[in-house]
Amino acid sequence: MAQASPTPLRAASPVPQAAPAGAAEAGAAAVRLEGIRKTFGDVVAVAGVDLDVKAGEFFSLLGPSGCGKTTCLRMIAGFEEPTAGRILLQGRDVSRLPAYLRDVNTVFQDYALFPHMTVGANVEYGLMVKRIGRAERRTRVHDALQMMRLERLDRRKPGELSGGQRQRVALARALVNQPRVLLLDEPLGALDLKLRQQMQIELKGIQERLRMTFIYVTHDQEEALTMSDRMAVMNQGRVEQVGSPAEVYEQPSTSFVAGFVGASNVLSGAAARSISGQELAFTVRPEKIRLASIEERALPDECTATGRVREVVYVGAFTRYIVDLDLGGELVVLQQNLTMSSMEVLEARGRAVRLLWNRQHNRTITETERRPAAAQDEKTQLEGEG
């Protein structure tokens, strides 16, 4: 193969234009969804989504199965057509364009590699379809394989690779086309925990080196918090909150976001009034709460509640305590096991305790409206489609 330096991929060759060259708006978002809605018969998969994804950012769509995140990704890719609304890429309306005319590539959870082709041939395939010249193909494939540390595996078949290596091949095959936007549909879902955590860091590093726009679909909050510049939390076909990982975690805007992104406690009504002085629902993260003896008193800037430890869950580095409050309801507390052994923390079960936390950690939230379940899992609906 031709020799090349281990730098980010070279400039892309021209691709078919989706619209006249002057159609793109200066400074336009890399991807914009305007009032996007998608129905399958009577089933509403996406119920009106407005989003802007900035050029060069790692943006995640986070939510439970059936929330509409994969359907949104498929509409951006061109695999599904929106029932209503517009999709703009670099300010250009591509809502009705076929997938091959959109300057995007998709990495799927199952990788979709050709089992009869070698690694090199898999990565080269898209360039051949685009009729890229042989010399440039070889150079770009070499660059992509080198970036993914796969250059010594180019003659192997996918069946001879580990899960992590197959994942890298799928990424190389997408990146070799040098799209403006890379779409990733839970690509780490099939990997074991340790490898998944390693690949989260590697994937973010690749995105930062290439300065490419990544849109990443996941139901795993840790993935979204680890890799994202910004994230949208979805629920029942709608976006509940958009923000940086720190904003979404530290300042959840609804009870759904508070509960889905990390463990959280939500108090409302009489319990909220007794603790905070007002009936507005608020949330406080479990790691912000301190477990203390029942005799300890709160400082002026602290909130407090008493209760009894109902359950203790020892998780090695930390312990999760579930406390039934005397006021009614419960609070979950997370504490690091800095000095206590597993036997010592388990002895807390059944003990009367006082909970203390700084008042500034209370976050007022909107209690999420309960809407009828929209559908089965979106992936089940779309099973078998491209």
d(CA 375, CA 6): 46
The mean per-residue pLDDT over the stretch 366-374 comes to 57
d(CA 62, CA 72): 11
The 10s digit of each residue's pLDDT in 346-362 is: 889 999 999 999 999 99
pLDDT of residue 308: 96
C-alpha 113, offset from chain centre: 23
The fraction of the chain above a pLDDT of 70, given in percent, is: 88
d(CA 55, CA 91): 11
Amino acid sitting at position 23: A
- The answer to whether residues 106 and 174 touch, using CB atoms and an 8 Å cutoff, is yes
Q: Which superfamily, per CATH, for 21-255?
A: P-loop containing nucleotide triphosphate hydrolases (3.40.50.300)
**318 or 367: which carries more pLDDT confidence?**
318
Is the CA virtual torsion 337, 340, 346, 349 positive or negative? negative
How many other C-beta atoms can be found within 10 angstroms of the C-beta atom of residue 169?
Answer: 26
> CA 225 → CA 61, 189, 221, 230, 283, distances in Å?
11, 16, 6, 9, 19
3-state secondary structure the chain: CCCCCCCCCCCCCCCCCCCCHHHCCCCCCCEEEEEEEEEECCEEEEEEEEEEECCCCEEEEECCCCCCHHHHHHHHHCCCCCCEEEEEECCEECCCCCHHHCCEEEECCCCCCCCCCCHHHHHHHHHHHCCCCHHHHHHHHHHHHHHCCCHHHCCCCHHHCCHHHHHHHHHHHHHCCCCCEEEEECCCCCCCHHHHHHHHHHHHHHHHHHCCEEEEEECCHHHHHHHCCEEEEEECCEEEEEECHHHHHHCCCEHHHHHHCCCCEEECHHHHHHHHCCCCCEEECHHHCEEECCCCCCCCCEEEEEEEEEEEEECCCEEEEEEEECCCCEEEEEEECCCCCHHHHHCCCCCEEEEEEEHHHCEECECCCCCCCCCCCHHHHCCCCC
C-alpha 144, offset from chain centre: 24
pLDDT of residue 155: 92
The least confident of 95-99, 143-147, 246-250, 260-264 is 260-264
User: What are the start and end residues of each CATH 2.40.50.100 domain in the chain?
Assistant: 264-364
One of 3.40.50.300, 1.10.357.10, 3.40.50.880, 2.40.50.100 is the CATH number of 264-364, namely 2.40.50.100
Task: Single out the residue of 68, 37, 34, 36 nearest to residue 52, CA to CA.
Answer: 34
d(CA 127, CA 139): 11
Question: 368: pLDDT confidence band, cut at 50, 70 and 90?
Answer: low
Cβ-Cβ contacts under 8 Å for 306 (sequence gap 6 or more): 294, 325, 326, 352, 353, 354, 355
d(CA 375, CA 383): 14
pLDDT exceeds 80 at position 371: no
User: What are the start and end residues of each CATH 3.40.50.300 domain in the chain?
Assistant: 21-255
The 10s digit of each residue's pLDDT in 290-338 is: 999 999 999 999 999 999 999 999 988 899 999 999 988 899 999 998 8
pLDDT of residue 378: 44
The 10s digit of each residue's pLDDT in 142-183 is: 999 988 889 899 999 999 998 888 988 999 999 998 899 999
pLDDT of residue 342: 80
Average pLDDT, the chain: 86
- The answer to whether residues 166 and 113 touch, using CB atoms and an 8 Å cutoff, is yes
pLDDT of residue 380: 41
pLDDT of residue 72: 97
Residues 32, 108, 153, 104, Cα dihedral to 10°: -20
